[in-house]
Structure 1
Amino acid sequence: MQAALAGFGLGLSLILAIGAQNAFVLRQGLGRAHVFAVCLTCALSDAVLIAAGVAGFGALTQAVPGLEWGMRLFGAGFLFWYGARSLAAAWRGGEVLRAGTGAPSLRAALLTCIALTWLNPHVYLDTVVLLGAVAAQYEDRLGFALGAMAASFVFFFALGYGARLLSPLLARPGAWRVLDGAIGGMMWLIAVSLLVG
């Protein structure tokens, strides 16, 4: 249970960052266009990548001594950078969400969603490398993976279907500053826990 909760927490914190994929899901939700299909595509893609990271990284760490510690250092460094980027965005401010004009076809929406997911190099760092490295610390790697996968499903469906409720809030730059600041702080806390854990 502890591994599943850790996986859920880390998976959720990594996915919270407002990037191109999440902004696309928000816009689809705001326009009520193909929300279920887009959310399912994002969540299933994450599940495949998380499974690959947890399964592959676990086997690799047993075969290569010292790899786990090296990946922890890499993961902590990446999280410090990622957190600094979010904190800088919070400091600058000025982000707002605007709903796009016109809804794409289902095919276009899914192709865009797949491209934003699978062509993003950060998704591999987050799901395959970082989650794989952290999962290696737990005996219950399956529980960790399932927790991280559950976080993706919860997040994407909440984001897609909750977008209409969030639109007045996300239209204000101050809300994005708070969100980016919280994400940055969370990333730094996770980075520290990787180094001392």
Structure 2
Amino acid sequence: MTSPLLAGFGLGLSLIVAIGAQNAFVLRQGLRKEHVIWIVAICALSDAILIALGIWGLGALIEQADWLLVVVRIAGAAFLTWYGVRSAVRAARPGKLDADPSGRPVPLGTAIATALALTWLNPHVYLDTVVLLGSIGATYEDARWWFAAGAISGSIVWFTALGFGSRLLRPLFAEAVSWRVLDALIAVVMLAIAASLLLGL
């Protein structure tokens, strides 16, 4: 049997690495070098809390609460649509790398609120962390917390690498066209996820 720690790390990392709203936001903030440590900490800590809740047994409860998933889906779709439209506007009227279209840096409070919303209003996060990881972790019985530790470690490694490593791509994004393409891709990802959430109701 695979080591619970390694199994948790591998599965957790594979789920988190997939392109999504949360990763797109972390990438964008990393490229801008704005509030990166806060964003990375919020995303990693949120994942840790959700993974722990799943291992503790909340996943089974959520699977029974269909109405809760519906509420989260609608709220998440609304937020992602709003964020996607904003990204599309930025793509049409790109500003400089270190500023938003109005010429001002993103305030810390706004960045934190966005990171929290992209995490806690995204049903996919609950399905991946609480339900899926929680269910698989339960199969390790007494070693399930080692599985959780591995999954949490995977989350920390990924968000740290994405947030702080993305600055290596800054020379590529020195040109306005690169920034326009990134914002356009973010808009597509956000709107596609929002549509999938609504279609899944």
TM-score band w.r.t. shorter chain? 0.5 to 0.7
SS at match of 2:57: helix
The one of 159, 162, 185 equivalent to 2:162 is: 159
Q: What's the counterpart of residue 142 of structure 1?
A: 145
Q: TM-score, normalised by structure 1?
A: 0.63
* 1:169/1:146 CA distance change after superposition, 3 Å: farther
Q: What's the counterpart of residue 84 of structure 2?
A: none
CA distance, structure 2, for counterparts of residue 42 and residue 33 of structure 1: 15
CA distance, structure 2, for counterparts of residue 151 and residue 169 of structure 1: 27
CA distance, structure 2, for counterparts of residue 168 and residue 122 of structure 1: 33
> Unpaired runs of 5+ in structure 1?
62-66, 68-97, 177-197
SS at match of 1:154: helix
Q: What's the counterpart of residue 110 of structure 2?
A: 108
1:8 and 2:2 aligned: no
Per-residue Cα deviation, 1:100-149 (whole angstroms, up to 9, x for no partner): 84331110000000000000010000000000111122131000000000
Considering only aligned residues, what root-mean-square deviation do their CA atoms show, in Å?
2.9
Q: TM-score, normalised by structure 2?
A: 0.62
Q: CA deviation at 1:167?
A: 5.0
CA distance, structure 1, for counterparts of residue 7 and residue 56 of structure 2: 17
Question: How many equivalent pairs are there?
Answer: 139
CA distance, structure 2, for counterparts of residue 157 and residue 39 of structure 1: 6
Percent of residue pairs identical? 58
Q: What's the counterpart of residue 26 of structure 2?
A: 25
Per-residue Cα deviation, 1:163-182 (whole angstroms, up to 9, x for no partner): 012456796x9xx9xxxxxx
Q: What's the counterpart of residue 52 of structure 1?
A: 53
AA matched with 2:16: I
> Unpaired runs of 5+ in structure 2?
64-93, 186-201
Q: What's the counterpart of residue 36 of structure 1?
A: 37
* 1:166/1:134 CA distance change after superposition, 3 Å: farther
Q: What's the counterpart of residue 120 of structure 1?
A: 122
AA matched with 1:7: G
AA matched with 1:143: W
Bigger drift between 136-145 and 46-55 goes to: 136-145
Q: CA deviation at 1:40?
A: 0.0
Runs of 4+ in 1 over 6 A off after TM superposition: none
AA matched with 1:18: I
Does the 8 Å contact 2:99/2:106 carry over to 1? no
SS at match of 1:33: coil
CA distance, structure 2, for counterparts of residue 32 and residue 5 of structure 1: 31
* 1:8/1:107 CA distance change after superposition, 3 Å: same
Does the 8 Å contact 1:57/1:133 carry over to 2? no
CA distance, structure 2, for counterparts of residue 9 and residue 110 of structure 1: 28
CA distance, structure 2, for counterparts of residue 162 and residue 33 of structure 1: 13
CA distance, structure 2, for counterparts of residue 19 and residue 131 of structure 1: 18
